[in-house]
Amino acid sequence: LKVGDRVMALTGWGSFAEQVAVSGQNVLPIPAEMDFTTAAAFSMTYGTSMHALKQRANLQPGETLLVLGASGGVGLAAVEIGKAMGAWVIAAASTNEKLEIARKAGADELINYSEASLRERLKELTDGQGVDVIYDPVGGKLFEETFRSIAWNGRMLVVGFAAGGEIPALPANLPLLKGAALIGVFWGAFAQRQPQDNAANFKQLFAWYAEGKLKPLVSQTFALEQAAEAIDTLGQRKAVGKLVVKVR
C-alpha cells in the first residue's frame, strides 16, 4: 500500500467518521473498476458470505443452497456467490418485493416465509431430499424449522441473529438423524487468523466482480449526519442490499 491508493478497510467500530486509523492487515486496495460507494458495501458482506460458503460449507457445484434473509446485506451476497460457485439457489425472505431483488441477483427459486410453510415448500422443491447447505443470518424461529429441512450430509451455517430475541437452540438428535453439521461462521476472526486465505477469497471475489458475476446492490445512501437514520432503517427491517453512509 502507498499514500494515495484507493482503499477499503474493515474498521470494526468507528467508521462513521472523516478519519479512522486501521491496522494495515485490514486494508485492501479497491479494484480500478469499483467506485467508493460500492467498495464501502463490499468487504463485510461478500467477505462473510465467501468465507461461509467456501471454507465453512465447502459448497459444491450442483448442490442446493438455501439463503434466509436473502435480500439483506450478507444474504444477497450469498445468493450471488452461491450462483458463481455453481449451486442451485433457493432464496427465502419476508416479502415478495424482497424476493424480487433476490431473483434479480440470480436466485433460482423463491420462498416467502411470511406466507408459505418453509418446510412444505422445501420438501416440494427438493423432491423430499432436503437442502444441502443452509445460510442463516436471521436466526429466531426459522432456525430449527429450517434445520429440519436439511439433506443427508447437509451443512447449516450460523451467520447471525438479525431476528433478535433469544439465541436459538437445536435438539442434538436432529444433526445425528441427518448426518448433518451445524457450522459457525465468524468472518472477522477468520480474516485476523487466516489473512492469506482471506486475501485469496478477495482475489476471487474481485475477479468475479470484474466479470460481472457480482453486482453489489446499494439501495440507499445517507449523509454522515443521517447515520442514525441508516441504522434505524436496518432495525425496522426496511433495508435491502446495503445502505451506505457517505462522509463527503
Ligand X SMILES: NC(=O)c1ccc[n+]([C@@H]2O[C@H](COP(=O)([O-])OP(=O)(O)OC[C@H]3O[C@@H](n4cnc5c(N)ncnc54)[C@H](OP(=O)(O)O)[C@@H]3O)[C@@H](O)[C@H]2O)c1
Closest alpha carbon to 240 in 74, 109, 98: 98
Choose the stretch contacting ligand X; rule: CB under 6 A; options: 160-168, 172-180, 198-206, 217-225: 160-168
Interface residue with ligand X, options 16, 36, 186, 222 (CB under 6 A): 186
Considering CB under 6 A, how many residues would be counted as binding ligand X? 26
CB 138 within 8 A of CB 163: yes
- Residue 80's contacts (CB-CB under 8 Å, 6 or more residues apart) are 105, 106, 213, 214, 215
Q: What is the DSSP secondary-structure string of 97-142?
A: HHHHHHHHTT-SEEEETTTS-HHHHHHHHTTTS-EEEEEES--TTH
Using CB under 6 A as the binding rule, whether residue 155 contacts ligand X is answered as no
Q: How far is the CB of 80 from ligand X (least distance, A)?
A: 13
Choose the stretch contacting ligand X; rule: CB under 6 A; options: 82-90, 103-111, 206-214, 234-242: 234-242
Identify the residue whose cell numbers are 457480482: 214
Using CB under 6 A as the binding rule, whether residue 98 contacts ligand X is answered as yes
Q: How far apart are CA 212 and CA 122, in angstroms?
A: 30
Q: How far apart are CA 95 and CA 55, in angstroms?
A: 31
User: Beta 181-184 vs 88-93: how paired, if at all?
Assistant: unpaired
Using CB under 6 A as the binding rule, whether residue 79 contacts ligand X is answered as no
Q: How far is the CB of 213 from ligand X (least distance, A)?
A: 20
Interface residue with ligand X, options 86, 164, 171, 195 (CB under 6 A): 164
Choose the stretch contacting ligand X; rule: CB under 6 A; options: 33-41, 119-127, 159-167, 168-176: 159-167
**What letter would DSSP give residue 56?**
I
State the binding string over 18-57 for ligand X (x if CB under 6 A, else -). Answer: --------------------------x---x---------
Interface residue with ligand X, options 89, 134, 138, 156 (CB under 6 A): 138
Nearer to ligand X, 69 or 130 (CB): 69
Paired with 50 in beta bridges are none
Positions touching ligand X (CB under 6 A) are 44, 48, 69, 71-75, 93-94, 98, 137-138, 159-164, 185-188, 234, 237, 239
